[in-house]
Amino acid sequence: MILTITANPSVDISYKLDGFVIDDVNRTAKVEKDAGGKGIHVSYVLKELGEDVTNSGFIGGKLGEFIEKRLDERKISHDFIKLDDETRNCIAILHDGKQTEILEKGPEVSKEKEDEFLAHLKEIANNLDIISISGSLPKGLDSNFYKKIIEFAKNENIFVALDTSGSTLKDLVNADFKPDLIKPNEKEIIDIIGKKFPEEDEKIKEIFSNSVLSEIKYIIVSQGASGAVVKINDKIYKTAVPKVEALNPVGSGDSSLAGAISAIFNKESGEDFIRKSMNCGLLNVLNEEIAHVNMNDFDKYYEKISIKEI
């Protein structure tokens, strides 16, 4: 089984407006609400890929109940730790070809609730093949929470994928127990290496071989519409995806991660791992719905993804 962890999930609300006027009333009939958070998005695509996936993290109040209801509707299992405080809303206002976001901080997680989560993780570990950790940390938790999960997983021989950013990402890749897979974008890789990610092949190889990145088996450096640079053990690849008309790029990183995790779960080869990951990210942009891949189009683009070892 695959476990996706979203420590700070949300109810995602999208308002679509023809125009947005500051300091005035803005009305819309186009409202969408769904369970959100990067780990939950990963689970959506894993489910579409046919994988056995469950969600965990921390939820609270009526908004937490809404998240569980939405997962139930998709027939995706879940086992969250319950908080007294309300889960957060994350609001996206789509207007004039732009997206303005308002993100609530969310509830605080106490030491007791953190311990409850870690104890429960030990209870379900026998059924886990992969743990995927995604997103930011709520108030009350720091990177040590993720460190404890990674250390536990490594001791139990459970594969760990990590998708976070900033100081948390930097702290975790420098920790004694490292994740098996990370998926930084070009901005996030700067947080790790302290400089711009190079374009030249030899410099890319040097970055991966002479830094903490050398100790991480799978690394996908997302470069948006251009594709990605992928490290698998000591091999480095440049990948490119076919050009398409993007309807909604939001959730493509989570979709790409889901494809990578699915490939790992099914023990797929290096190039198949890359194609599946890139293909899922590409398919996501073809839909207005976040973290959704149309499986009818899966084979259409799969072989069009170019891969070159450097």
Which sequence positions are flagged as catalytic? Answer: 254
Tally of residues, the chain: 310
C-alpha 113: how far from its chain's center? 23
- Residue 37, φ and ψ in degrees, nearest 5: 120, 140
- Residue 70, φ and ψ in degrees, nearest 5: -65, -40
Q: Where are the alpha helices (DSSP H) in the chain?
A: 38-48, 61-73, 111-124, 143-155, 166-173, 186-193, 201-209, 252-265, 270-285, 298-302
Nearest to 290 by CA among 17, 70, 18: 70
Distances (CA, A) of 217 to 96, 181, 214: 42, 6, 7
